[in-house]
Each structure stands twice: as C-alpha cells, then as structure tokens.
Amino acid sequence: MKGFEELRTIKLEDDKVIMIDQTKLPHRLEFYECYTPEQVAEAIKKMIVRGAPAIGVAAAMGMALGAKLAAKNGRNVREELERVGKMMIGTRPTAANIAWAVNRIMKLTKENSDDKLLKLITREVNLMAEEDIERNKMIGVYGSKLIEDGDVILTHCNAGSLATVGYGTALGILRKAREEGKCFRVMACESRPALQGSRLTAFELKEDGFDVSLITDSMVGYVMSNSRVTKVLVGADRILSNGYVFNKIGTYQIAVLANRHNIPFYVAAPSSSFDLQHNYDEIEIEERSYDEVIQIGGVKIAPEGVNVLNPAFDLTPPELITAIICEKAIIYPPYDKNIRLTLLEK
Ligand code: MRU
C-alpha cells in the first residue's frame, strides 16, 4: 500500500466519485463508488467518508455529479444544484466545511451563464481538492515550528490524510516535523464511540512508520499526570471567530486536563473550517445512532433498553487553547481579534 502521505481519500472521475471506505479500515482498504449525489450524501452520513475537510470536498463532488446528471437528463442544472446543496448541508450539521463547499459552488451559479457552468463546476471541485492538500501542507509548515525533539504529542480522533483529501491537518504537522528531522512520539486516543483514533489514526501513523502508542480515552489524565505528554495537537470541525472550537467528542475534557497539567493545547484546521458568522449556541451538535455506543464491532456491550447519549462533537472554549494553526499562520490569543485579522487579510 502507498504511504498515507500520498494517498487520496476522495476523487472525482467522469461519472463517479471514488472514496476510501473508512468504515472498513483498518482491516481492509476498499474503495467505494458513488454515481449519484444521493449516494454521496449517504456515504457522508454513514461516515464512509468522514473528517471535516474531506466531507466538504465530498459534498462539492456530489454537486458536480448532480449537475452533470441534470444536464444529461435535460433538467435544470441550477435547480438541481440548489436541491443537492441543501441535501448535502443536511447530512452532518457540525462541521463548517460542507456549507463552505456548497456556498463556493453556488457562487459559480450566480456569476456564470448556463453554457459555462458544467465545465466550471468540475474545474472548481478539482481545485478545491488540490487546495485542500496545499493548505494542509502549509499548516504543516507553520505547525512544525511548534514541535521539538523529544516531544510526546497526544492527538484525538483522526485529523490525518483520511480526514482530508490528503496529507492531513494535525497529522500533516507531524509529517512535516518528521521531514525536518525532529524526533517525537505520538499518543493516539481511541476516540470512542466510532473509534477514529484506533481504527484510523493509529493505522495511518503506524503504516507511515511513526512511533505511535494507542491509549483509551480514559487514560488521558494518567498519561498527562505522569509527565508523558508534552503537547496536545488536534483538528477541528468548526472554529468560530472568537476561538471556540467544535471537535470530536472528548476534545473538551482533554483540553481541561491539558490546562490542569500546563501542557500546550494546539488546534490545526484550514480556513474552510472557520465560521466567522455564527455564535456557538447557533451550531447543532450532531447526535448519532445509539448503536455506536451500545455496540463495538457489532457486538452488544450494554444492557438491553439502557438510556444512551451520543453527541458526536463537543465545544472547547478559547481560554483552553494555546494556539490555532491554519494555512496562513499560527494564531495566538486574543482570538476574537486575531482570527479575523489572519483570515481576512489579503
Ligand atoms: O465524525 P468524524 O469522524 O467526521 O469527525 C470529524 C473529525 O475527523 C474530527 O473531529 C477531527 O478531529 C477534525 S476533522 C480533521
């Protein structure tokens, strides 16, 4: 298998979208093909493709399929894009990237005539995929400045190649730091209930030859209090203009523990994950199926009929975050001033 550094999670081909089926990892590397926007939306919902930047680009690719099919069947392309865009936004509510991607495609419909539209959409979608990789590489360039020899870096969920089109955000920083010759170790939290940490991060890092140790989520306090962790580095699904960060459930408690132990807590994400419009109480935290909690690998691990909660994300407040790394800079507090300054600068 190719290293994850070069692997592409998702690709638009003529009449289909091809993606790595992440529900099959780490046991099998299989590809999943979608021929309609409905199939792409379903793949996003079922987390066949997942990770905020990856689902943003997947949604745009689904729109490109919708536009092509509409043109082929003599339906109105603009109306179809409107419909598919709404459907994509309805798949997973917490990550900022789907709305970002849909808005970018819809902007094209406003600025261009019908005859140009199809070509432009395909071009734009491929550009978005390439840009995603380039942005991640720039996040790596900035973020690697924070990594030192001897570090033990704790990460949560999967903010790697698999969460993006390629290279990864938080894990992209690790790739760059290693390329620069830095020696460090990684601790990956398993990230219950969907286990992105054990199934994806541990797999991705191990395949690429990183020194990675897997821990359960309940071990974070222990490894921090035993001075085994020097830095925390996570991705983000949505970052607000005042520095509030939505990320995988469990991130908030890691940030609180890092604060307790004076361990720097870093967040890495591209500009497509920033939301400068909303307040935190306006963002929906996705509630996923209870089966994710009461089963592991299809085996029941809880009593029949027990009450269950399954929020997929939580919110970390800015005072717990040491810095946010995006493709333009390392952003330090005060976030309510510096996020806008960094993202809106020419
Ligand atoms: O529910 P998922 O797997 O789509 O979760 C999103 C994420 O991958 C993480 O929260 C990640 O830390 C941010 S996306 C790079």
Residue 177 has pLDDT above 90, yes or no: yes
Reported as a single tens digit per residue, the pLDDT across 243-259 is 999 999 999 999 999 99
Cβ of 159 below 6 Å from ligand 1: yes
Reported as a single tens digit per residue, the pLDDT across 48-83 is 999 999 999 999 999 999 999 999 999 999 999 999
CA of 154 to the centre of ligand 1 (A): 15
Residue 155 has pLDDT above 90, yes or no: yes
- Per cent of the chain over pLDDT 70 is 99
157 CA closest ligand 1 atom index:
12
Average pLDDT over residues 317-343: 98
Distance, CA of 47 to CA of 61 (rounded, Å): 16
Tell me the pLDDT band of 345, cut-offs 50, 70 and 90.
confident
CA quadruple 54, 151, 177, 139: dihedral positive or negative? positive
Residue 7 has pLDDT above 90, yes or no: no
Distance, CA of 275 to CA of 272 (rounded, Å): 8
Cβ of 188 below 6 Å from ligand 1: no
- Per cent of the chain over pLDDT 90 is 94
Query: What pLDDT was estimated at residue 190?
Result: 98
Ligand 1 atom 9 nearest Cα: 248
Reported as a single tens digit per residue, the pLDDT across 184-225 is 999 999 999 999 999 999 999 999 999 999 999 999 999 999
Cβ of 96 below 6 Å from ligand 1: no
Catalytic site residue from 132, 151, 237, 314: 237
CA of 72 to the centre of ligand 1 (A): 35
Cβ of 169 below 6 Å from ligand 1: yes
Distance, CA of 269 to CA of 84 (rounded, Å): 26
* Residue keyed to tokens 């990320």: 247
CA of 336 to the centre of ligand 1 (A): 24
Q: Are 92 and 44 in contact (CB under 8 A)?
A: yes
3-state secondary structure at position 314? strand
236 CA closest ligand 1 atom index:
13
Strand partners, 248: 313
Q: Is 13 exposed, middle or buried (0-12, 13-18, 19+ CB in 10 A)?
A: exposed
Residue 1 has pLDDT above 70, yes or no: no
237 is a catalytic site residue: yes
Contacts 24+ apart (CB under 8 A), 219-225: 219/189, 220/154, 220/189, 220/253, 220/254, 220/257, 221/257, 223/154, 223/187, 224/154, 224/257, 224/258, 224/260, 224/261, 224/263, 225/261
Residue 110 has pLDDT above 90, yes or no: no
CA of 107 to the centre of ligand 1 (A): 26
**Domains of the chain, each with CATH number or no CATH:** 10-137 (1.20.120.420), 146-345 (3.40.50.10470)
169 CA closest ligand 1 atom index:
15
Residue 114 has pLDDT above 90, yes or no: no
CA of 164 to the centre of ligand 1 (A): 9
Ligand 1 atom 10 nearest Cα: 248
Query: What pLDDT was estimated at residue 2?
Result: 57
Q: Are 53 and 270 in contact (CB under 8 A)?
A: yes
